[in-house]
Structure 1
Amino acid sequence: MKQMKVETVSTTRIRPASPTPFHLRILHLSLLDQLLPPSLYGAILLFYTSPPSSMKTVDEKLGVLFKSLAETLVLFYPLAGKLRPDGVSIDCDDEGAFVVVSHTDSRLEGLLSRPDPTLLERFVPARDQETMKSAKDTVLLLQFTTFGCGGIAISICPSHKLMDASSICTFVRTWSTITTRDSHEHFSQLVKLPKFIGSSLLPPNKTLPTMKSSSASLSGPISGFAGVTRRFIFTASKVAELKDRCSIFPEIGEKRPTRVEAVQALILKCTIRAASTQSKSRHTSVVFQSVNLRKRMDPPLPDNAVGNLSWTQPVSLGDGLNIELCEVVIKIRKVLDDFYDGRAARFVGEEGAAVIAECLREKHEMLSVGGNFYGVTSLCRFPFYEMDFGWGKPAWFVGPSVFNNFFVLTDTKSGDGVEAWMTLDAKEMDILTRDAEFLAYATADPVDGLNLYRCRL
């Protein structure tokens, strides 16, 4: 599949189906949005097979997507705008989302049988330099890639200045519902209008930095090497074994580890061990844990609140060399519980700015001391596998890693396993893929993936 040729067919802009009212022309971003660089774009990839029951041609599918996207942008009007130079606002000028249409003669089943991380870059418009030049300051980029078998890949790449993972999920769910609204009897009940309320909760603050580039981001770990990305699968049975292994320790308490807690504990334990073999001295290991603030704020925010309503909380694991799985779970739980109880609800107003400033100082202190820094974000339980545009649910979805020493966890299609996309230093990745403890639970690029993601012809 490394020989797969993906060619650009066309580029265009999709504008909202109706103009944005004048009083909504400028969207002011929040303080949390302010802290993210304009060059950073998220990415979600959805792959759809072409089932025999589907009567639509590829061109008809694209036409449906274009039309429903224009209607969806009426509700998500900032996504049709451009980032302003001040870094804290969006010009909702209806210039439109930037859309790339591409094609490959290859069959989708070949890609899904054993996904190649370097190959996936060809489906992500935000990773293409020429596309980014053409789409300068555009808030939303999309790419529709059609396959020789009739399948299609949809790549959603919004600016991280406006959208976190929960926001992307809200957008895609609304878009897919609008696309298939004729089949929904209660359309108005299924679509929740997005709420752009970030700036009213946390206005921008002149005393805190406005990020200019992703290398200056304070949102997560910074690494100076070119990493290697690999995909690992933790089946439901292996996840259950990990959870049981953690639970035998009385320190874990009555609350058994979740799938995510158990898997990330193993990942961190084994990657820290791999890093230690590359250094003659011991280093502190810190994991930056992504957390959704919506349900933690006071009062709680709805799921359709759009913006960067999330935070990356650092957790120190010490040198981590002899740490047990349950210790990783306990340390992360303790720090996150303290954060939820003492700070998360205070991310509002002037007090929120002070709390965030304090959190940033702590991050700076950790980064300045040095050590091994890791980032973990979980897309598990987000309903991306439910996104049906009229030709069935996705055969597969992935959120590619964008940082070194960064791990993205997603559901397997069955919903009870975990898929991990991990980016590490090449030598450390080589050590990890030979780690007996890690491989007792994780399968690297399983060759039987075709049985899970078979293209139905």
Structure 2
Amino acid sequence: MKEGNKSMEVVVKSVEKVKPSWYKYSSLVSEDDHELRPPFKLCSLDQLVTAATYTPLILFYTMETASSWEWSPEIMSSKLRESLSLTLTSYYPLSGRVKDGVVIENFEAGAPFIESRVQGHSLAEFLRPPKLEFLNKLLPVEPLAFHQTTVTDDDDCDYDDRIPLELQLPAAQVIVQMNTFDCGGIAIGLCFNHQVVDGPIMSIFLRTWAAHCRQLLLMCGSAEGRELTAQSVSTEDLSRGSTAFPPRHQGSPPQVLQPLIEEIEAKDNAIKTATRRFVFYDHAITSLRSLATTSTLIPTRTEALVAFIWGSTIAAATASNSSKPLCLTQAVNLRPRMKKREATDDELLLSQHSLGNLFSMAASFCNSGMISTTTTATTAISALAPLLREAVVAAVDEKHLDVLSSQQGGFDAMVEGLGIGVPTLICSSWIRFGFSDIDFGWGKPVWSGAVGEAHRHNAALRDMIILKELAPQKEGNINDYNNGGIEAWIRIDDKVMAALEKDPDFLQFATPNPPILY
């Protein structure tokens, strides 16, 4: 049997709920953390998401990066669960369940924590190169897909039959799966409900969780010199989103996202998607920035890369006689951008801890005349990059934010930003989220994975790009490292993907799914 065709089995060993610790634990939590909390209000931007859709992340750790202290899956699992309980005490809404699209309550429901065993691959085999076809098996639920939040006896439910249904419905905010390889390495599969958790909150939640876990290991003498960095989080900081973007009392009107849902359902049987991972090393990104630079714009690394990928997918769609994605949308984090009106200084309205989908959609529209049948991505990049910059500026314009913060206007503005009715490519940038630095006490991950192939018919995001940083990789000699780069996870129509994978202009800069060397 060829290595690429090896099967992989993931066997669930145990499932439990991790609940918040409502008691003081040394100096790690604030004095009132043991008190019961009132229902947590969603913000109006959260109410746009009418079904649970899980954002995935998988952190891979090898015990080669750990200290000489003797690790075991049992010890690691115990400390992960205990520290997760502490973290859920601070971010208590992520332990609850959404009710009526208006509030989160039932904080004792907890976060499902699954332990599983990987059979058929060692960690090294899995990562050299990453087996994208098996990646979703390391996640507790199907990612980037619509999941029901309630269930009746007549429902044909979408749920993972490896995990008890009662732990999945109603939809949990955070679900964890700790996968142990036979070699001793582990992969922590995480799914965050995008109804209340966006990328920046994923980042700070994981950093807080890792800091608590390091502290617990310090207390038992197994993580010398690792400093505690977890911060106390106030309820006021958590709830600033619903203050800035007041929720509708009746929840999201069903007609808001209905056109998008109908569009996705119409594609279910007609379009098959493909997911691929490409790496753009630093020297390639530098070249792309040069190509995108004009007399009026010096693009950032991300702007140049997104413009190139967008242009490449348009060229591939043209070559495959498919619909061209003439719209590209990006989420712009509002937490560091919104200032308090009454403040005399630059005091921010939102906190880095504020929960919710606190972003504005930056929609860039490409005129079809810009891209002819002979245009390549390298010639189009200088025209597309300015569109991205202009869209981001418009997305955080003060007048636009005023509209966004109003109840009905906010819905309309976000729907417009989704590009409904226009073939759209969604770009989500995880750059600077620090996922490669999440150290629970046994070293940083050797790699972090995003999403594998879509196996279900109800993929919520079909045409999308996820960008994330690639940690420095060893090349040949153990002391020889490259400077990393940016990974682009692209999920598009498989016909468009086939054309993209054959495009020499694209492959001049993109390296398809290289192995992870550590």
**TM-score, normalising length from structure 1?**
0.88
SS at structure 2 position matched to 1:24: coil
Distance 1:216 1:79 in 2: 29
| Counterpart mapping for 1:336-415 below 5 A | 336-343=392-399, 345-346=401-402, 349=405, 352-360=406-414, 362-363=416-417, 366-368=419-421, 370=422, 372-400=423-451, 403-414=461-472
Residue deviations 1:201-254, cap 9 Å, x none?
212125883469987668x9998233110000101111111111212x3242xx
Partner letter of residue 295 of structure 1? P
Partner of 2:295: 250
Contact 2:48 2:411 in 1 (8 A): no
Matches within 5 A, 1:31-110: 31-51=44-64, 53-84=68-99, 86-105=100-119, 106-110=121-125
AA of the residue aligned to 1:291? V
- Match of 2:45, SS state, is helix
Look up the match of 2:513: 445
CA contact (8 A) 1:65 1:179 kept: yes
**Structure 2 residue 169 is matched with structure 1 residue 136:** yes
Paired residue for 2:328? 287
Q: 1:199 aligned to 230, 242, 265, which one? A: 242
Displacement of 1:416 in angstroms is 4.6
Distance 1:412 1:213, change over 3 A: farther
Q: 1:184 to 1:90 in 2, by over 3 A?
A: farther
Q: Is the 8 A contact 2:102 2:248 kept in 1?
A: no
Q: Residue in 2 aligned with 1:117?
A: 132
Q: Does structure 1 retain, via aligned residues, the 8 Å contact 2:90–2:232?
A: no
Gaps of at least 5 residues in structure 1 are: none
For 1:155-304, list aligned pairs within 5 A. 155-181=189-215, 182=218, 187=228, 190-193=230-233, 195-197=237-239, 198-205=241-248, 209-210=252-253, 224=267, 225-247=271-293, 249-252=294-297, 256-279=298-321, 285-299=326-340, 300=348, 301-304=350-353
Are 1:232 and 1:444, in contact at CA under 8 Å, matched by a contact in 2? yes
Instruction: Kindly indicate whether the alpha-carbon contact (under 8 Å) linking 2:395 and 2:401 is maintained by their aligned counterparts in 1.
Output: no
* Structure 1 runs, 4 residues or longer, greater than 4 Å off: 19-23, 183-186, 210-218, 220-223
Distance verdict in 2 for CA 1:238–1:185, change over 3 Å = closer
Q: Is the 8 A contact 2:20 2:89 kept in 1?
A: yes
Alignment of 1:12-23 (within 5 A): 12-18=16-22
1:380, distance to aligned residue in structure 2 (A):
0.6
The alignment's TM-score, normalised by the length of structure 2, stands at 0.78
Give 1:10 shift.
Answer: 1.2
Q: Distance in 1 between matches of 2:307 and 2:102?
A: 36
CA contact (8 A) 2:464 2:492 kept: yes
1:422 aligned residue (490, 495, 508): 490
Q: Is the 8 A contact 1:69 1:175 kept in 2?
A: yes
Q: CA deviation at 1:21?
A: 5.7
| Alpha carbons 2:101, 2:251 under 8 Å: kept | no
Say whether 1:11 aligns with 2:60: no
The verdict on how the C-alpha distance between 1:110 and 1:186 changes in structure 2, with shifts beyond 3 A counting, is closer
Gaps of at least 5 residues in structure 2 are: 24-32, 143-158, 219-223, 341-347, 453-459, 473-482
Change (3 A) 1:174 1:146: same
- Letter paired with 1:400: V
1:125 offset after TM fit, Å? 1.0
Deviations 1:155-201 (A, max 9, x none): 221211110010111110000000112357864x6425263222122
Q: CA RMSD in A?
A: 2.8
Q: Judging changes above 3 Å, is the alpha-carbon distance between structure 1 residues 214 and 126 closer, same or farther for their aligned structure 2 residues?
A: farther
* Rounded Cα–Cα distance in structure 1 between residues aligned with 2:489 and 2:266: 17
Q: Does 1:306 align with 2:337?
A: no
Paired residue secondary structure (1:394): coil
Q: Which amino acid aligns with 1:28?
A: K
Q: 2:44, 2:411 within 8 Å by CA — same for their partners in 1?
A: no
Write the letter of the residue equivalent to 1:289: Q
1:318 equivalent in structure 2:
367
In the TM superposition, residue 342 of structure 1 has moved relative to its aligned partner by 3.8
Tell me the CA shift for residue 26 of structure 1: 1.0
Q: Distance in 2 between matches of 1:214 and 1:232?
A: 31
* Worse-matched range after superposition: 236-245 or 306-315: 306-315
The one-letter code matched in structure 2 to 1:269 is G
Name the residue aligned to 1:147.
181
Between the two proteins, the alignment pairs up a number of residues equal to 437
Q: CA deviation at 1:15?
A: 1.2
Larger mean Cα displacement after TM superposition, 311-320 or 16-25: 16-25
Q: 1:145 to 1:236 in 2, by over 3 A?
A: same
Residues 240/77 of structure 1: CA separation in 2 closer, same or farther (3 Å cut): same
**86-95 or 396-405, larger mean C-alpha shift:** 396-405
Deviation at 1:60, TM superposition (A): 1.0
Separation (CA, whole Å) in 2 of partners of 1:169 and 1:118: 25
Write the distance in 2 (CA, Å) between the matches of 1:324 and 1:289: 19
Shift of 1:42: 1.4
Kept in 2: contact 1:298–1:345 (CA 8 A)? no
Q: Distance in 2 between the 1:214 and 1:355 partners?
A: 14
Distance 2:319 2:332 in 1: 30
Aligned partners of 1:398 and 1:424: how far apart in 2? Answer: 18
Q: Which amino acid aligns with 2:49?
A: L
